[in-house]
Chains A and B, each alone.
Chain A
Amino acid sequence: MSRERSLCGKEEVIKAAMGIADREGMEALSARRIAKELGVSSMTIYNYVKNLNDVKKRVLIAGFDRLYSGVYQSLSALEPPVGRRTMCRTMALEVFRFAQANRSIFSFMFFDGRNLFHEDAEVRPFYAFMTRFVSRPRGHVAGWRPDDMPFNLLEIIITTMSYQCAEGVIKLTEQAFMDHVNFFIERCVDE
């Protein structure tokens, strides 16, 4: 009688899921596929996670961790003070590069996964990054709301173009992408 291998914890399941998503895409993610990767039965997976959506949520959060860690590294390498336009450009470029390197996870983070989880309290703060990180100086809500619109639009432009490019819907070089971003920033974002 074979004895089932036990896992170290939930993190082992999430790491395996991230690996599958990276290599084969989010669409390949299933309890059976994760179980195969880890050499255990599908039922064992459910000892560590509630359901497949629980795994997907953790993959999505791990994606944001990767993305924002990269954004922060790039921004902190710049000579301070960093102006708003420079921040927008740097973030746009990081998002574009992340999308090309993590096609499936990026698509999930900003499209299918967003529909699933954007109201989840743990996930919600990771969206609307342009308004949350760049637009709003600290203070009362009334102080920043009128300024949100260009940042919302810029985020849509960045994520949509990055997605389309990563999925092969449009073909753009990094420079061509940044030309579009610059076109918008110069007209709509104050320094």
Chain B
Amino acid sequence: MPADVHRRFLKLLGWDGEELEAFLPEWLKTAEFLRLTEADVAFAVDEWLPTYWDMSMCGTRKFIAAVIREAAAMARAGDYINAGESVIYSMMPSAAVCVYANRIAGEGKVHIFYPYFIIATVWTSFFGRELDARLNGSGLDPACQHCALNCLRADSTIKGMIAPPTVIWNWGLQCDEAPKTDEMLKRLEEAGWKSVLTTIPHDAPLGMDESEDDGRVSYLAEEMRVAQSQVTGYTGVPVLDEHMSGAMREYLGYLRRVERLTDLVMNSDPVPMYGNDLTLFSLCMECAFDTGYGYINDALDTAIAEVEQRIREGRGVLPKGSPKLACHFSPLNVPWIDKIFRDNGVNLTLGRMFPPASQLIKCVKPGDAYRSAASMCLEAPNNVNMLDEVRMTCGQLNRYPVDGAIYGFFAFDRWIGALEKIMIREAEERTGIPHFYLEGDFWNGARFSLDDKLATIRGICSCLKISSLASGK
């Protein structure tokens, strides 16, 4: 029966009984929307998910299910438009609070989606499908190291895969490729989509603490405010201070949970959770879900309880004393990377090195919510100048007991990719922690192979294990 494999997929992620049967038709539509065949789903259920994710953790299964629910909601975007509701698409990285405030203000009549991010994450993380294999016709040659998210955006627009939204809120906080893709689509492909852009010039002096600089915060806050008024022009739904405050409260509730989970995992020996899984829970640091924070917070609460239980029992994914390697990129999009490190006796941890909630909460000041949102945005390491990012990265590396840090996989990125190799040397100099690097593109594993990286990863693991012996661990 064709639906059997889909039932097994949903069951694996925690759906059961009537709830499963009720969601099944929606999932079948979503799978079709995502261009997932039965073979793709069977591969995910039987091989990919059990190999690269800790499916024994209920919290992990719930979070993956939350992403699938978000994909299902996104697949209904066309229906929302046809019903006269508004749909806002947004790009990563963004100020999640600003985008989410529209959902609150809309009271069910405004929907927010990050379609390219969600599709890319679902394909690469949960189904083992490389983006290069799916992308063609966009005119953006993968060999030119374009951001795979933008290739996906161009390709999906041209092919009509994604329903045109009411407006697309395009962010160019750090990388200018998203706005460039937007322009290309408008001029060359006549996509006819309405778009609003929030950007900030890359003119901060190296080393400036951007979130503390009044001029910079004011500028970005004003950019956000203007962009919001333009978005409102398309949706007809004004976003008031109370909506921004509500969005901030929900976002901070999520951040606190992520910080709690990260603290638990990072301060434990043995490490109680896979690197992929830990990174998965921070997926919404720079985006928001139309399905809200309910499902993801429930998944986080479950994971926190499970991790606490594992700590009490002294259970870890590797033996006590195994080295911890902090990861600067997002390993979940190339989940075999985490597994190779684990197979070679090293825990990959701390994906993306986002600042902890307690750091971001300091940015929230009474009064202008846009200033708080702008300040938080400028406290995210990949939105600021290279030396400011070094400061934040070092803060994370010094906060937790790690044995090394791994960078790379940003070869596609015009901002981080260009400066990362210099940044590594600076961070290593400041912390004394060994820093390693892997060439690659975490959005697109097809651009390199496991075999190609194996010797490098094994070499790194040997280095870390030798260091551990030297330090008497």
Contact = CB atoms under 8 A, between A and B. Distances in A.
Given A61-B459, A122-B439, A10 B466 contact: no
B429 A141 contact: yes
B465 A72 contact: yes
A61 B466 contact: no
B434 A140 contact: no
Interface string B94-124: 0000000000000000000000000000000
A172 B463 CA distance: 28
Nearest to A141: B432
Nearest to B430: A141
A20 interface: no
B339 interface: no
Interface string B433-454: 1111111000000000101101
A87 B469 contact: yes
A139 interface: yes
A61 B469 contact: no
Given A61-B456, A138-B471, A9 B462 contact: no
B341 to A, nearest CB: 14
B469 A69 contact: no
B458 interface: yes
Nearest to B469: A75
Interface in A135-161: 136-141, 143-144
Contacts of A64: 455, 459
A134 B469 CA distance: 9
B451 A11 contact: yes
B408 interface: yes
Contacts of A71: 462, 466
Interface of A is mostly: helix
Contact of B463 (A82, A125, A141): A125
Nearest to B470: A134
B424 A121 contact: yes
Interface in B213-266: none
Contacts of B465: 72, 76
Contacts of B467: 132-133
Given A80-B469, A138-B433, A141-B432, A65 B449 contact: no
A81 B473 CA distance: 8
B338 interface: no
A61 B437 contact: no
A35 interface: no
Contacts of B469: 72, 75-76, 80, 82, 87
A64 to B, nearest CB: 5
A125 B432 contact: no
A76 B421 CA distance: 32
Nearest to A142: B432
Given A10-B452, A141-B432, A68 B462 contact: yes
Contacts of B470: 82, 84, 87, 133-134
A76 B464 CA distance: 13
A122 B438 contact: yes
A189 interface: no
Interface string A2-37: 000000011100100000000000000000000000
A65 B437 contact: no
Contacts of A139: 432
B431 A140 contact: yes
B199 to A, nearest CB: 29
B115 to A, nearest CB: 32
Contacts of B452: 9-11, 14, 58
Among A61, A71, A75, A80, the one with the most B-chain Cβ atoms within 10 Å of its Cβ is A61
Given A68-B466, A82-B470, A87-B470, A136 B455 contact: no
B472 interface: yes
A72 B346 CA distance: 13
B462 A65 contact: yes
Given A71-B466, A75-B466, A121-B408, A132 B434 contact: yes
Given A9-B451, A122-B438, A137 B471 contact: yes
25 contacts: A9-B451, A10-B449, A11-B454, A61-B455, A61-B459, A64-B455, A65-B455, A65-B458, A65-B459, A71-B466, A72-B465, A72-B469, A80-B472, A81-B472, A82-B472, A84-B470, A87-B470, A124-B437, A125-B434, A129-B466, A133-B463, A133-B467, A133-B470, A138-B432, A144-B432
Given A9-B451, A71-B462, A121-B421, 7 more contacts: A10-B449, A61-B455, A65-B455, A82-B469, A121-B407, A139-B432, A144-B432
